């Protein structure tokens, strides 16, 4: 049986993987993006109805993060519109250890629709597709909280869990907390990448105020700097994030992809060997 699935953020780290897996399984996929037709724009609620029309399920990712002001109101309104459009199932990508994200989860859980919540630890792909990539290419990575341990989870595993949740009713009402199988510090991550690509990538620990000052001097906007500060100060060393779970294995029947495997695969693409001018 083919399902009609709307994937919000369908060009993002997990969204594009969800799109790929669903298409490989033969389902009808609508990418939720401002550049698609029908378009979907979080800042234009009038676009939501046409994008949701005829959909059986929705994979929800919110940019830049569920913690930012306005996210809760947007998720509440989207869930209501989904109900009006006859959507049966919502799968929300959430973050582990984020109080604001849990409020957004409640909005989905109280929507009256079937749902699954996917709480993910920090992505391995933060080092290959996000804000840590350019410093690695520069060969100089400066980060606060250098020895905080993180159980990185691969975006492929997150997407695979999300697809299972979208397609199988046995996941209705579940909250899955996705982590990798071991902890790594920033210092250890950069050392492993450096060794694998055979480049000298220098890691320097800095204070959080110094780091946010550096981001501002780099020209990043205040909202982004606020979010990074929030993630480091409120989320990263939250006790909820100092836990390794078995939920990837529970849903997929296999162990999560190890960070070393991610590093080897990414190194083979050459992206970390592309040096950029300082």
Residue 44 in domain: yes
CA torsion sign for 198, 158, 251, 103 is: positive
Could you tell me which residues come within 8 angstroms of residue 114 by beta carbon, excluding any fewer than 6 positions away? Answer: 88, 89, 90, 169, 172, 173
Residues 92, 80: Cα–Cα separation, whole Å: 14
Burial class of residue 196 (count of CB atoms within 10 Å of its CB; 0-12, 13-18, 19+): middle
Residues 31, 59: Cα–Cα separation, whole Å: 10
Residue 129 in domain: no
Residue 31 in domain: yes
Identify the pLDDT of residue 240.
75
Residue 19 in domain: yes
Alpha-carbon torsion, ordered 154, 232, 107, 50, to 10 deg: -60
Specify whether the CB–CB gap between 55 and 5 falls below 8 A: yes
Residue 201 in domain: no
Measured CA to CA in angstroms, residue 84 lies from 81, 142, 258 at distances of 5, 48, 41
Could you tell me which residues come within 8 angstroms of residue 60 by beta carbon, excluding any fewer than 6 positions away? Answer: 8, 75, 78, 90, 91, 92, 93, 108
Going along the chain, which residue ranges are E strands? 4-8, 28-32, 57-60, 89-95, 114-120, 140-143, 175-178, 202-205
Give the structural domain span for 60. Answer: 4-121+153-179+242-256
- For 23-36, how does the pLDDT look when each residue is reduced to its tens digit (9 = 90+)? 999 999 999 999 99
Full-model pTM: 0.95
- For 245-271, how does the pLDDT look when each residue is reduced to its tens digit (9 = 90+)? 999 999 999 999 999 999 999 999 999
Q: What is the mean pLDDT of residues 64-80?
A: 94
| Report for 55-59, 217-221, 242-246: range of highest mean pLDDT | 55-59
Identify the pLDDT of residue 64.
86
Percent of residues, the chain, with pLDDT higher than 70 = 99
Identify the pLDDT of residue 46.
98
Could you tell me which residues come within 8 angstroms of residue 96 by beta carbon, excluding any fewer than 6 positions away? Answer: 119, 120, 121, 177, 179, 235, 238, 240, 241
Specify whether the CB–CB gap between 224 and 64 falls below 8 A: yes
Could you tell me which residues come within 8 angstroms of residue 216 by beta carbon, excluding any fewer than 6 positions away? Answer: 222, 225
What is the total count of domains within the chain?
1
Residue 113 in domain: yes
Q: What is the mean pLDDT of residues 101-124?
A: 96
Does 244 score more than 90 pLDDT?
yes
Q: What is the mean pLDDT of residues 238-248?
A: 88
Does 278 score more than 60 pLDDT?
no
Residue 139 in domain: no
Q: What is the mean pLDDT of residues 221-247?
A: 86
Residues 257, 260: Cα–Cα separation, whole Å: 8
* Least reliable range by pLDDT among 47-56, 63-72, 167-176: 63-72
CA 130 to chain centre: 10
Kindly report the CATH number assigned to the domain that includes residue 39.
3.40.50.720
Identify the pLDDT of residue 241.
76
Residue 228 in domain: no
């Amino acid at each position: 049986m083919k399902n009609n699935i709307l994937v919000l953020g369908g060009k993002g780290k997990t969204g594009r993987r969800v799109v790929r897996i669903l298409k490989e399984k033969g389902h009808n996929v609508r990418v939720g993006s401002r550049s698609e037709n029908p378009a979907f724009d979080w800042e234009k609620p009038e676009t939501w109805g046409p994008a949701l029309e005829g959909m059986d399920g929705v994979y929800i990712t919110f940019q830049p993060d569920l913690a930012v002001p306005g996210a809760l109101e947007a998720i509440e309104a989207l869930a209501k519109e989904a109900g009006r459009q006859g959507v049966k199932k919502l799968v929300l990508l959430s973050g582990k250890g984020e109080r604001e994200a849990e409020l957004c989860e409640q909005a989905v859980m109280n929507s009256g629709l079937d749902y699954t919540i996917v709480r993910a630890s920090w992505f391995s792909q933060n080092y290959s597709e996000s804000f840590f990539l350019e410093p690695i290419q520069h060969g100089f990575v400066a980060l606060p909280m250098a020895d905080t341990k993180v159980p990185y989870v691969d975006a492929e595993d997150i997407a695979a869990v999300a697809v299972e949740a979208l397609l199988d009713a046995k996941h209705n009402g579940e909250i899955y907390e996705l982590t990798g199988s071991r902890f790594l510090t920033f210092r250890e991550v950069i050392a492993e990448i450096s060794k694998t690509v055979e480049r000298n990538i220098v890691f320097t620990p800095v204070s959080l105020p110094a780091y946010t000052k550096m981001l501002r001097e780099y020209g990043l906007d205040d909202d982004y700097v606020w979010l990074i500060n929030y993630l480091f100060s409120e989320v990263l060393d939250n006790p909820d994030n100092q836990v390794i779970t078995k939920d990837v294995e529970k849903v997929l029947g296999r162990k999560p992809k190890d960070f070393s495997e991610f590093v080897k695969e990414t190194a083979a693409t050459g992206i970390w060997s592309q040096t950029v001018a300082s």
